[in-house]
């Protein structure tokens, strides 16, 4: 049986590589690892790349929310303070926010990139991965709205 270790990286076809490059570096904090003719490879700073941006053909269909394909991808932040800072940063850059959710094992801010791809910034709410998995599997666990507006960043 195949036993995956982790998801290695994500490749997005984008309408304009330069616009997306600016969004993913200036708004989301990725670093450019290398630019190649087929696209730009981005890193969080620890491995060769986590994300790549490839130029889509001019006649590519736009991202359509709720259709088949990618629903969203998630980027983990260190803690709740980092999530609060990221939320304020997104708002300061006029990024379209989708929703804020307290999943119990994680707290999340969902938003859209320039092409309409939904992205999630999240932080864990539990001390261990085991506690998070147990909470996710708990009968009756329900998501709640997450409020970040009234909570100061420490």
The pLDDT tens digits for 47-104 are: 889 999 999 999 999 999 888 888 999 999 999 999 999 999 999 999 999 999 999 9
Residues of the chain with CATH 3.10.180.10: 7-57, 71-148
Using only the alpha carbons of the chain, give its radius of gyration.
Answer: 17
pLDDT band at 140 (very low <50, low <70, confident <90, very high): very high
Identify the pLDDT of residue 150.
Answer: 60
pTM of the model: 0.88
Alpha carbon dihedral 70, 4, 55, 72, in 10-degree steps, equals 20
pLDDT band at 3 (very low <50, low <70, confident <90, very high): confident
Question: Is 153's pLDDT higher than 60?
Answer: no
| CATH number of the 71-148 domain | 3.10.180.10
Identify the pLDDT of residue 154.
Answer: 46
| Domain 7-57 listed as CATH 3.40.50.300 | no
């Amino acid at each position: 049986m195949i036993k995956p270790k982790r998801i290695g990286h994500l490749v997005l076809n984008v309408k304009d590589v330069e616009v997306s490059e600016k969004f993913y570096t200036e708004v989301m904090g990725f670093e450019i690892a290398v630019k190649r003719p087929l696209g730009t490879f981005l890193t969080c700073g620890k491995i060769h790349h986590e994300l790549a941006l490839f130029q889509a053909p001019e006649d590519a269909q736009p991202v359509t929310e709720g259709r088949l394909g990618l629903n969203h991808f998630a980027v983990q932040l260190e803690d709740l303070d980092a999530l609060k800072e990221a939320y304020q940063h997104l708002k300061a850059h006029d990024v379209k926010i989708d929703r804020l959710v307290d999943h119990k094992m994680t707290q999340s801010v969902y938003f859209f990139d320039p092409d309409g791809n939904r992205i999630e910034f999240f932080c864990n709410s539990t001390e261990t991965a085991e506690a998070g998995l147990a909470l996710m599997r708990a009968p009756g666990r329900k998501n709640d709205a997450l409020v970040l507006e009234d909570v100061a960043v420490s």
